[in-house]
Amino acid sequence: MVANRGTGLRLLVLGLLSSECCQEAAALAVGGVAARGLPVRSSDLDGVRNLLRSRIEVSKAALRKEMSEADFCRTELDGARSKLETQSKVVEEKLRALKALGAKGTGHEEIDGEMAVKRARQSLKASAPEGEQQASSFAAVSSRAATGAAGAARAAGAAGAAGHVEPPLDTRVEEVMLPPPRIEPAMLAPPPLPPPAAAPPPSNDGLLHRDFGHGHGQGQGEASLPVVEPFQSVLGTLANGQEREREVALKELTFLAGRDQSGQEQAIREVGAMPVIQVMRSHTASAGMQQSACQALRAMLKNRVDYQDDITSCGGVEAVQTALQRHGGDNVAVAEEALWTMQKLSMVEAARHQLVPGIDLVAQTMQRHHEEPAVQESGCKLLGNLAYEEEAMTGHFLRPGVMEAVTEAMREHPHDPGVQEGAILALHNAACSTSLQKKIKDLGGEALVQHALRTHPFLCQDGSAQDLLDLLMDLP
């Protein structure tokens, strides 16, 4: 009876050798039985039993800790999911309210809302697998640890009871084997440094300054930060999507291309202006589509004189002028975006020749939206660039309403620096024509320029405003 009990204990201890938590117990038991068949003292058996209980308590503590981490992961994931779902529901409710109202001009808010819902859902899908995987990993490890601890407890109880022979060794090892140690994620090596950036393309500030015969001025470029984003889905949607999908794709293109120089270069390389212009031609009746397309072209045009020629040759000027003519009078958003896009295009000579016949349309749009500073600023700066051409000054700026649109913009928005800067540019370049100098003075140009210089001292920096003022003061 005692021999069988000792043999069972030795088999138990050998079975527990596969578990790190029972190695000390095995050493103690084997040390207490020097030779096979000798009895085991009750004190040794109690020591093994107490050691097993101690190790089981340690395993339970580790199990509770791991379960706490798993619960924390689940709680954080549930919180993030709840917030994203709440935001998505709020946006959807606002969209339904806008659709129910059927108010004019809500189309763009609808598109923006749909984009917000789309991004929230993408974020939810992206965050769920990682959190679920981490929680599942904790649960699996905890389950295996619980199985191992229970098996060890059963083994200790059996050894202390009647002295029967333990099950075969391989069965016991399988039952009480603890899970392998958890492998921590390896620390990732830092990514290699990017190659040196290529020389930036030609840049400008979108304004052309005449110097009364002393050469042409050039503005400063705009700074940007590099980033790379995929554009293939945008290109595919523009080619094959429905109207609403195309409008959303145009907004995505504007966002990606307008963030920095790297995104702009990738937009030009992978999408280009031609798909945008084709969408404008296919949806001439949609004001929202025309506005979004102008925004996308403007994002690709920024600081890129080299690409302004390409867009002009693709029919970009005609497409934007059509949008302004069809929707600019009634839709202030289309008017603003179309004027800004034409102002960017007007930096190149080929585009200016195409834009000059539309000077009257620009002036009429400014008068129609005289209370909108953005329309006045973009219109004045566009007229200032077009006044760079002799053809424009002799054939179009003398027409009624053109110079009046500039001076009225200065009167109505005296404290807007952008409007004052654009208006002075237009007056300055137009004043290079002697036939326009007297008209500018008759419209009160001298007093308007003086007030602008007092209100906005930065206008004195390049000297063009003071040159214009001196010229007007010298007139009889």
One-letter identity of residue 416: D
177: region left, alpha or beta (phi > 0 left; psi from -120 to 50 alpha): beta
pTM: 0.56
283-333 residue pLDDT tens: 999 999 999 999 999 999 988 888 888 999 999 999 999 999 999 999 999
Q: Are 88 and 81 in contact (CB under 8 A)?
A: no
CA angle 362, 458, 429 (to 5 degrees): 40
Residue of 446, 443, 402, 442 whose CA lies nearest to 426:
402
**Given its phi and psi angles, is residue 35 left (phi above 0), alpha (psi -120 to 50 degrees) or beta?**
beta
What single letter denotes the amino acid at residue 100?
A
Would you give the end-to-end CA distance of the chain in angstroms? 133
Q: Walk along the chain (476 residues) and give the pLDDT tens digit of each residue.
A: 444 444 554 444 445 444 444 444 444 444 544 445 566 677 777 887 888 888 888 887 777 776 676 777 777 788 778 877 887 777 777 777 766 665 444 455 556 666 666 666 655 555 555 555 554 554 444 445 444 444 544 444 444 444 433 333 333 333 333 333 333 333 333 344 444 444 444 445 566 665 554 444 444 444 444 443 568 899 999 999 999 999 999 999 999 998 888 999 999 999 999 999 999 999 999 999 999 999 999 999 988 888 888 999 999 999 999 999 999 999 999 999 999 999 999 998 999 999 999 999 999 999 999 999 999 999 999 999 998 877 666 678 888 999 999 999 999 999 999 999 999 999 998 888 788 888 999 999 999 999 999 999 998 888 888 888 888 888 87
**Crossing angle for the helix pair 445-455 and 464-474, to the nearest 10 degrees:** 150
Query: Which residues, including other chains, have CB under 8 Å from residue 375's CB and lie 6 or more apart?
Result: 332, 335, 336, 339, 365, 366, 369
Of the candidates 443, 435, 426, which has an alpha carbon nearest to the alpha carbon of residue 380? 426
